[in-house]
Amino acid sequence: MASSFKRLLIGKPIATEHQHHERLSNVTALAVFSSDALSSVAYATEAILAVLILGGSAALGLALPVGIGIGVLLVVVAFSYRQTIRAYPKGGGGYIVARENLGDLPGLVAAGALLVDYVLTVAVSISAGVAAITSLGVTWGFPEIKTYAVELGLFFIAVVTIANLRGVKESGAIFAVPTYAFITSILMMIAYALVRDMIFGPTLVVHSIAPEIPMEGEAIGFWLVMRAFAAGCTALTGIEAISDGVPAFKSPESKNASTTLTWMVGLLVSMFIGITYLANVHGAVPNELSHETVVSQIARTIFGTGPIYFIIQITTALILVLAANTAFADFPRLASFLSRDRFLPRQFSSRGDRLVFSNGILALGTFSALLVIVFQANEIAMLPLYAIGVFISFTLSQAGMVKRHLRIKEEGWRRGMIINGMGATLTAVVLIVLTVTKFTHGAWVVLVLIPILVTFFQGIHKHYLGVAEQLSLSTAAKPIPVRRLTAIVLVSGVHKGVLSALELGKSLAPDNVTAVYVDLDPEHIERVKSRWAEWGSDVPLVILESPYRSLITPLMNYIDEIEGRYRDGHVMVILPEFIPYNWWEHLLHNQTGLILRTALTFRKGKTVISVPYKLEQK
């Protein structure tokens, strides 16, 4: 039943040789890798205005210049990542570029920062999508929908997780329609609003509940502008996704990835600047009292609350939910790179039935769901933690590219070094501003978490190196044939399961097999002896006394004694077990077999064989 349910959720397994058929076209890749970056236009402008409003109504007019500055930064970073795609056609995310060119520690810092940011991407995007839905509900007179924000968020995380478990190509096909519907609706809204405003003049937003705008707030100066700029830099999250996922593109991978990146940035800048402009001329501002987003205010003012407004809100909600898909495309891939380099458990490098890194997908879904629960699906509360990680990765990646140009000096290296140098400098400045402005608002959590993750990576790496060293044949001696094999069959009674274990013991060590029984209840010992005389197959039965009713200690002492008798021999412990038909029936029995196996596994120089006897349904 479990297998059938799994097939229903994620589909039939895909053979390894079909892996090349799962590559993405540019159209599908734009939906898979760009939904995070494109969806940021739904909240990046609002994040800028949420800071500028602290300076009063006069400061709100600075939103457009700040937005243009962020747009310039977007273009510079995009050109920098085009260099990365060209240099690393097999995938050149911040981890790979930084580790190869700057060393292990910078690479692990970039990896830890990206992993944290991917988890936050899912939690923030899903929560923002839920906010768009609740804004629609409030506008249409259903304010009680706000009380189900967490449940909606968990539902959407489950949907995106399952879709990605079905495979990259299939998830891309699922998400392509909502992504392009969002792009179309936002661009049409901007174009229609510009023409309408030119003819009739802009109409100011009317709020159902007036927002709180201080008449005289903070002083309007450089610091306030930089804080607003830092807040709006959430628009850059997701830019690196395409460089991480170059191997997922159809051939030629680098060319297709670069083309898709160019289209993504062009669309992103157009929509972001357009929404920021419309918010400025129509007077849209963050309104915590009415719980209506800035995009909702603009769409309602331009189109009213009819079908077009509904389409814009629904497509915005969908793209925000699907923005999580970018993280689901990149988190498992980055985890697989770390696993391949032995910085994460090996399970993260294994592909599942549908040729995706299933363990990474499940881990991302779990961590992001926990964040949604902890922050009660409030994306504004999570934004201070957001973008720090990705700008750390930006800076290290671009600095790594600069060093690579200096080391290799390929054709056109000077031009590439200038582009990557500008990217590294600008992202480093933004990182400093983000850290300072958001530190006391929660960014310190990310800055503390990243060193913890790096230490975690290094601990795993040390373990794997130690295992490899101990298993290495360089210090191994030639195997010496075992002169004497001793088989010990552990019995808790005389039943059918024991008979199978006895036959195995006699076949492996015909002249040296012994059964061992621990006497925990003197009343049963005579019955065991009499039954053994009938069914023991002439195998001697050793009865161990246990006055303190301990099972493990007498057995271990006896096994050690036998091992001490024959220095050139090998002890093999055979453990008969009966397996109940139904899983829940395990709860009705002592887990003696599991306890014994665990105790024996950690004892050097012994072989443990479990002989299961499966019970039938009655």
The per-residue pLDDT for range 339-377, each reduced to its tens digit, is 889 999 888 887 765 557 788 888 999 999 998 898 887
How many percent of the chain have pLDDT more than 90?
A: 14
- For residue range 240-284, what is the model confidence (pLDDT) as tens digits? 878 877 877 887 888 888 899 999 999 999 999 999 999 988 888
pLDDT of residue 200: 87
Residue 21: its pLDDT value, please? 46
CA atoms within 13 A on the CB side of 611: 21
| 8 Å CB contact between 377 and 130 | yes
pLDDT at 17 over 70: no
What are 97-133's pLDDT values in tens digits?
899 899 999 999 999 998 998 898 888 888 877 877 7
pLDDT, one tens digit per residue, over 38-95 is 888 887 888 888 888 887 777 888 889 999 999 998 898 888 888 888 888 876 578 8
Over residues 188-217, the pLDDT tens digits come to: 999 999 999 998 888 887 766 666 666 565
Backbone angles phi, psi at 269, to 5 degrees: -65, -45
CA distance 11 to 168: 13
Query: Are 572 and 487 spatial neighbours (Cβ–Cβ below 8 Å)?
Result: yes
Q: Which CATH number fits domain 36-398+426-464: 1.10.580.10, 1.10.510.10, 3.30.420.40, 1.20.1740.10?
A: 1.20.1740.10
3-class SS shares of the chain: helix, strand, coil, % to 5: 70, 5, 20
Instruction: Report the sign of the C-alpha dihedral through residues 439, 443, 445, 451, in that order.
Output: negative
Yes or no: say if 38 and 268 are a contact pair by the CB < 8 Å rule. Answer: yes
Range of lowest pLDDT (6-20, 209-223, 273-287, 389-403)? 6-20
Give the integer Cα–Cα distance in Å for 538 and 541. 9
Mean per-residue pLDDT for 403-430? 87
Band of pLDDT at residue 577, cut at 50, 70 and 90: confident
What is the rounded distance in angstroms from the CA atom of residue 119 to the CA atom of residue 237?
12
Domain ranges (residues) in the chain: 36-398+426-464, 484-614
Of the candidates 268, 280, 274, 220, the residue with the CA atom closest to the CA atom of residue 242? 268
In whole angstroms, what is the distance from residue 120 CA to residue 110 CA?
15
Q: Is residue 589 helix, strand or coil?
A: coil
Per mean pLDDT, which range of 2-16, 146-160, 422-436 is the poorest?
Answer: 2-16
Assigned CATH for 484-614: 3.40.50.620
Strand stretches in 96-152, DSSP E = none
Average pLDDT over residues 446-461: 92
